[in-house]
Copies of this chain bind each other. A is one copy, B any other.
Amino acid sequence: MLQYEGLKERIVARFDEMSPQLQKAARYILENGQEVALISMRELARNAGVQPATMTRLAKFLDLPGYDDIRAQYSQALRSQADGFAARAQARDVDGPSGSGLAHGMVQTLSAQIARLNAPESIARLERVADTLAAAGRIYVLGLRSCHSVAWHFHYVMTLLGEKTVHLDGPAGTGVDGMRRAGPGDVMLVISISPYAKQTLELVGLAREKGMGVVAITDSEVSPLSNVSDEVVICATDSATFFHTLTPALAVSEVLCGLLADRDREAAVRALQEADRHLQSLDIYANEIPKRRF
């Protein structure tokens, strides 16, 4: 573990001196440490989007004889981690849901809640919702108050893929205006959890009157949305805190995006490349990481 820590620190320390490709490789290794020990260098390079040679070069750059030495260190770390793990996990579990236990407990709960989406029924629901959304002319995305984050994220990702979604939100209450042109053949994706905002239910009613389809991400089989939606995905919102969690709901929305992109992979790739060019031309992103300007 010591050596491993040393290596990781060395990578971080000398990161700024590296060439772009070396940084790309180093970054991937830092973020996916366990993989280093478990897969081949070539595969790692593939995943990192880098030439195999770059990994060797990274090793030399770090004053190591070769890549095998990188792997050796990560293997060693994994070995000792595997040994000591059970003990540490048990020790941690004991000290209850207070202090650092709270963070631990929340993370654990969230992980489990998301894992629960793997129930066959949930997967089936996700597929059906994705089907409906894929078949839709336009997708009108509605998520008010706490659900705004989920709605917006879904919309944002989908805009990278095309022009299919309309986000029903906007300054000065103009959000609703987006629905003017909606009609049969279009679908509303509505996200709402308890307590359910009245406006959400009203807008769903409006959608129905217009003959639109409705699919929902919500928190219960008996949510008011379940009654009025064609398809529903249920996700957990319980939390040890005073608040409801939206993390599982966000996970659902990301899975939906993934499924939709997967329906037409080439189109998705094309759209993303185009979006990329667009953002490049607008100079939105920092292409290279500024070197300690501050």
Contacts and interface: CB of A to CB of B under 8 A. Distances in A.
Nearest to A113: B111
Interface in A125-181: 126-127, 130, 145-146, 148-150, 152-153, 156-157, 160, 171-172
Interface string A29-50: 0111011011100000000000
Nearest to A9: B221
A203 interface: no
A192 to B, nearest CB: 10
A262 interface: yes
Contact of A153 (B112, B149, B171): B149
B238 A27 contact: no
A45 B46 CA distance: 29
A70 to B, nearest CB: 14
B255 A32 contact: no
10 contacts: A86-B111, A88-B120, A102-B262, A107-B114, A111-B114, A148-B149, A149-B150, A153-B246, A198-B285, A242-B272
Closest 5 CB pairs of A and B: A241-B258, A89-B115, A149-B153, A149-B149, A195-B285
A122 to B, nearest CB: 8
Contacts of A240: 258
Contacts of A239: 254, 258
Given A38-B79, A156-B149, A107 B118 contact: yes
Contact of A124 (B100, B245, B269): B100
A257 B238 contact: no
A292 B79 contact: no
A208 B254 contact: no
Given A111-B86, A156-B145, A289 B254 contact: no
B245 A254 contact: yes
B269 A242 contact: yes
Contacts of A12: 221-222
A39 B74 CA distance: 12
B15 A222 contact: yes
A182 interface: no
Contacts of A148: 149, 152-153, 156
A31 B83 CA distance: 13
A267 B83 CA distance: 34
